[in-house]
């Protein structure tokens, strides 16, 4: 029990029935109904419905178990238990649908503890609606159950499971040491590891897992699989970031065996599994991930020596780890024949552990594919391709037309495993043994979450990140939603670019000789069109009006209108290379926006002026507003570098990113009248750019925090009407250093350009990207978001391996299976600084 969490024992003593299902927080007693097993080594299961319909979060557990009574117990979450009885023999399975492990406890092993602020998501549309408790009784004494603390409010961190599993290991008979290696590149948002679990059958000696970063190996966990197979805490905090490698090794010995041992589900097969419990920020959370191949065999030349050293296990611990059953020694015959026939013919139930992959891989749950064994077929590459096909749903409900394939494939319905039965609808049992208690006022923790129906994440498949660009200063989308980039080629803005009067000092370099305006296909980053060669010195702002490009140049102190294929500007505002503050001059103008209805032109001016100027569609001066920020808090209409403009035609407003004041100010287009300010602490002191999407969304990016301040550089999504932050986002590949402009489309695709990194990121909403993380090579498969879907049944997967036989789905008589039964600072760019203050008098 995590003593740092405010969940005192006084709140958990009652066995009173449920009073209300509308409680926001509660403690749930999951109690076996006075069961006394008839014999030791009994597996019993019971279920409890989640007493709320909405999404909730399990944040803590407390077991009520005696080491003298219970060998191990597991708590699963699922939507349909295998039985509606008060309790049942776990041979019937735990869940009919996909399930996931929430909690594990084993004799002589520490209980799973979630870090503060971390919760397993249950209920709602994505979490399980039932808890299923599986207890392995080591004795025939009675046992009560588990208490689970459940919060109704969103938790800032969500727990999940990453499974590393070898699928093609072969252990030769008599071989003293056999290594099974697994490795995958991690391609998601950061996750923090807090617990691990290892699993093999009887030949496993030690299993180790590591994070590999810059060729440095960091231990996640190392354990003997012959010890109680619970989750053990990660001793030292380990985080995993994009492009790290997760690597695991299982060490086996084939001594005592007379035939090859393959990966499979029987007592005579082996397994090599390394589980990782992790947590992620809620908005990035993925519940399940898996790694099934060795994507980088070469790295294992440098694996720490400890990974090859077996961990000694005392004989009494070995008995406890395997349910008191000793393995019969091989006396020269096949090891298969040395086992009791009843044990030999039994196969582990797949309804619990393997359903971790069921939810992950999304196979139909009413059909199970079982392949007859063919020793000559299904190589490693074929198996990997098979997983990929299952993931992509290419071989699930296909018509089998080939006669040989039909002969070698059995579609098993409503027979092999009870959780595949879909004809009947499970109704919540009326007689359940649990109590619901409300924690005392103030217990638990509940973080106010950004509201909204979507989350934005980087589109990591987009190749535009690899474009060779200069300092990226401006972005826009044209009428066809193509991405338009304004960059500085081989010119840079640094401390030598301007004198104290803002006159450009590097005219001798001449204009930029590269095309500064690039038009890209937003899907594949293919260059469609380019222009702007020999026209600009220091590009800055960009917007698109129909087929025209509007740009500003801070060195020229000018604003230009360019046709898509015109060699000369169609309209020029300002006087070249002459800074000024009157109606005909600008001083480092930052951005330009054009009213699509009236054609009015709005210019933010700029680094050394603090105003917004309106011109007619012909370029005639109309009016201006704004003034320098006074001492103290900035007042409405005052600017400290008006840096970016977003025209809001839906509301006839113009919003300005008031950069050094760290805020957005919005004004009426016709009058320049101040409407409101949008300012959040998370903006920090600088807000660089703002963009509007029809339908009511504002997108923005901030700047690097000042020394001693903590607000990170990130993108923001806001509700325009309320100003509320809906979401924040950061890239996976590379990092923001000075994100300079942002543009978004109506489908919530977002592009951000960075002057320091000299690149453009593409982001997309989760709804658009929900199938993107499934990798065709089958190396790493990640959660496919959304309702429904079934899962890949690994019985089918193991059935395709050499040496595998299917004799039914009953559990083996030795504990340890993975069915949990028997077997188992300062900115370098000059523009980052405001103009120097006037000398004090």
Tell whether residue 373 is among the known ligand binding residues.
no
**Among this protein's residues, is 185 annotated catalytic?**
no
CA distance 271 to 259: 16
How would you class 38 by CB atoms within 10 Å of its CB: exposed for 0-12, middle for 13-18, buried for 19 or more? Answer: exposed
540 is in an annotated binding site: yes
Question: Has 320 been labeled as part of a binding site?
Answer: no
* Residue 450 assigned to a binding site: no
Is the bond preceding residue 763 a cis peptide, omega within 30 degrees? no
Catalytic residue among 46, 72, 289, 491: 72
Concatenating the DSSP letter of every residue in 603-646 gives EEE-SS--EEEEE-TTS-EEEEE-EEPPSSSPPTTEES-EEEEE
Question: Per the annotation, does 199 bind a ligand?
Answer: yes
Please indicate if the annotation marks 680 as binding a ligand. no
**Active-site residue flag, 585:** no
Q: Write the burial class of residue 305 (CB in 10 Å: 0-12 exposed, 13-18 middle, 19+ buried).
A: exposed
Question: 415: which residues sit within 8 A by CB, 6+ positions away?
Answer: none
CA distance 761 to 741: 11
Catalytic residue, from 165, 191, 271, 718: name it. Answer: 271
- Asked if 280 and 190 count as a contact pair (C-beta separation under 8 A), the reply is yes
Alpha helices in 327-402 (DSSP H): 341-344, 355-361, 380-391
End-to-end CA distance of the chain: 65
Up-side HSE of residue 778: CA atoms within 13 Å toward CB? 22
Q: Which of 32, 73, 113, 136 is catalytic?
A: 136
759: its two tokens: 């690149």
Q: How far is the C-alpha of 667 from the C-alpha of 674, rounded, in Å?
A: 4
Q: Which of 113, 134, 437, 471 is catalytic?
A: 134
- Is 64 among the catalytic positions? no
136 is catalytic: yes
**Does residue 71 have a known ligand-binding role?**
yes
SS3 category, 138: coil
Q: How far is CA 696 from CA 281, 407, 592, 693, 725, in A?
A: 26, 58, 21, 6, 12
| 255-272 b/e (C-beta count within 10 Å ≥ 16 → b) | eebbbebbbbbbbbbbbb
List Cβ<8 Å contacts ≥24 apart for 663-668.
Answer: 663/634, 663/687, 664/690, 664/698, 664/700, 665/636, 665/637, 665/639, 667/612, 667/625, 667/637
**Dist. CA 662–CA 688, nearest whole Å:** 8
Is 640 among the residues known to form the active site? Answer: no
Q: Is 143 left (phi over 0), alpha (psi -120 to 50) or beta?
A: beta
> Which position among 201, 339, 433, 801 bears the catalytic label?
201
201 annotated as a binding-site residue: yes
Determine if residue 324 is labeled as part of a ligand binding site: no
Catalytic residue among 71, 369, 371, 640: 71
Q: Is 704 annotated as a binding residue?
A: no
Phi and psi for 465 in degrees, rounded to 5?
Answer: -65, -20
**What tokens were used for 746?**
């109506």
71 is catalytic: yes
Catalytic (active site) residue 201: yes
573 is in an annotated binding site: no
* Residue 659 counted as an annotated binding residue: yes
According to the annotation, is 202 in a ligand binding site? no
**Residue 801 CB contacts under 8 Å (≥ 6 apart), including other chains:** 167, 168, 262, 263, 264, 378, 383
**Residue that is written with structure tokens 């109690």 in the block:** 31
Is the distance from CB of 791 to CB of 360 less than 8 angstroms?
A: yes
Binding residues for Cu(2+): 71-72, 136, 199, 201, 271
Active site residues: 71-72, 134, 136, 199, 201, 271
Binding residues for Zn(2+): 540, 643, 740
Binding residues: 71-72, 136, 199, 201, 271, 475, 488, 540, 542, 607, 643, 659, 740-741
Binding residues for a protein: 488, 607, 659
């Amino acid at each position: 029990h995590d003593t740092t969490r405010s969940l005192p024992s006084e709140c958990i003593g009652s066995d009173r029935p449920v009073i209300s299902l509308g409680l926001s927080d509660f403690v749930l007693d999951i109690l076996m109904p006075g069961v006394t097993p008839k014999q030791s080594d009994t597996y019993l299961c019971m279920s409890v419905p989640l007493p709320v319909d909405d999404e909730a979060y399990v944040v803590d557990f407390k077991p009520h178990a005696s080491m003298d009574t219970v060998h191990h117990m597991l708590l699963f979450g699922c939507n349909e238990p295998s039985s509606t009885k008060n309790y049942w023999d776990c041979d019937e399975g735990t869940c009919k649908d996909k399930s996931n492990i929430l909690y594990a406890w084993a004799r002589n092993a520490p209980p799973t503890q979630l870090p503060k602020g971390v919760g397993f998501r249950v209920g709602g549309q994505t979490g399980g609606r039932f808890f299923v408790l599986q207890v392995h009784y080591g004795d025939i004494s009675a046992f009560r159950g588990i208490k689970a603390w459940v919060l109704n409010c969103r938790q800032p961190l969500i727990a999940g499971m990453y499974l590393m599993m070898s699928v093609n290991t072969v252990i030769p008979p008599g071989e003293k040491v056999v290594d099974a290696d697994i490795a995958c590149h991690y391609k998601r948002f950061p996750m923090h590891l807090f617990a691990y679990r290892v699993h093999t059958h009887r030949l496993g000696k030690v299993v180790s897992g590591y994070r590999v970063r810059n060729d440095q190996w960091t231990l996640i966990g190392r354990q003997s699989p012959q010890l109680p197979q619970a989750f053990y805490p990660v001793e030292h905090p380990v985080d995993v970031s994009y492009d790290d490698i997760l690597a695991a090794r299982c060490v086996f010995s084939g001594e005592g065996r007379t035939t090859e041992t393959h990966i499979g589900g029987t007592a005579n097969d082996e397994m090599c599994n390394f589980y990782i419990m992790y947590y992620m920020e809620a908005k990035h959370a993925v519940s399940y991930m898996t790694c099934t191949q060795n994507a980088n065999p070469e790295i294992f030349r440098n694996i720490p020596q400890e990974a090859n050293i077996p961990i000694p296990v005392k004989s009494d611990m070995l008995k406890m780890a395997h349910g008191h059953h000793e393995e019969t020694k091989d006396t020269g015959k096949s090891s298969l024949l040395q086992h009791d026939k009843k044990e030999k013919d039994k196969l582990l139930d797949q309804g619990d552990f393997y359903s971790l992959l069921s939810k992950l891989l999304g196979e139909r749950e009413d059909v199970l594919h079982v392949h007859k064994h063919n020793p000559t077929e299904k190589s490693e590459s074929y198996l990997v391709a098979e997983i990929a096909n299952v993931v992509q749903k290419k071989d699930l409900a296909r018509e089998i037309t080939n006669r040989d394939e039909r002969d070698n494939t059995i579609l098993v319905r409503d027979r092999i495993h009870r959780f595949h039965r879909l004809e009947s609808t499970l109704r919540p049992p009326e007689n359940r043994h649990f109590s619901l208690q409300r924690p005392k006022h103030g217990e638990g923790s509940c973080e106010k979450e950004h509201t909204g129906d979507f989350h934005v994440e980087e589109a990591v498949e987009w190749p535009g990140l690899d474009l060779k660009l200069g300092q990226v200063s401006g972005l826009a989308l044209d009428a066809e939603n193509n991405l338009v980039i304004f960059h500085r080629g081989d010119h840079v803005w640094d401390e030598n670019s301007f004198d104290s009067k803002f006159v450009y000092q590097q005219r001798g370099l001449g204009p930029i000789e590269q095309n500064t305006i690039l038009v890209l296909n937003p899907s594949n980053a293919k260059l469609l069109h380019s222009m702007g060669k020999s026209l600009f010195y220091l590009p800055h702002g960009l917007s698109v009006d129909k087929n025209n490009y509007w740009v500003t140049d801070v060195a020229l102190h000018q604003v230009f209108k360019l046709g898509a294929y015109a060699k000369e500007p169609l309209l020029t505002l300002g006087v070249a290379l002459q800074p000024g503050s009157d109606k005909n001059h600008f001083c480092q103008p930052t951005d330009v926006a054009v009213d699509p209805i009236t054609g009015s032109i709005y210019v933010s001016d700029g680094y050394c002026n603090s105003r917004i100027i309106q011109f007619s569609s012909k370029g005639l001066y109309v009016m201006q507003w704004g003034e320098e920020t006074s001492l103290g808090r900035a007042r409405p209409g005052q600017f400290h570098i008006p840096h970016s403009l977003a025209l809001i035609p839906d509301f006839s407003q113009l919003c300005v990113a008031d950069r050094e004041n760290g805020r957005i100010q919005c004004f009426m287009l016709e009058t320049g009248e101040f409407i409101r300010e949008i300012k959040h602490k998370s903006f920090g002191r600088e807000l660089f750019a703002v963009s509007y999407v029809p339908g009511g969304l504002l997108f923005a990016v901030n700047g690097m925090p000042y020394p001693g301040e903590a607000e990170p550089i990130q993108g923001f999504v806001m509700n325009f009407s309320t100003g509320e932050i809906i979401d924040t986002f950061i890239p996976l590949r590379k990092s923001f250093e000075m994100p300079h402009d942002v543009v978004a489309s109506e489908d919530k695709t977002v592009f951000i350009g960075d002057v320091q990194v000299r690149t453009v990121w593409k982001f997309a909403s989760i709804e658009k990207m929900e199938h993107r993380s499934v990798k065709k090579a089958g190396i790493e498969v990640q959660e496919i978001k959304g309702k429904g879907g079934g899962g890949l049944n690994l019985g089918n997967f193991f059935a395709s391996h050499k040496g595998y036989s299917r004799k039914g789905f009953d559990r083996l008589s030795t504990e340890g299976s993975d069915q949990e039964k028997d077997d188992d600072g300062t900115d370098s760019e000059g523009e980052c600084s405001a103009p120097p203050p006037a000398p004090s008098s």
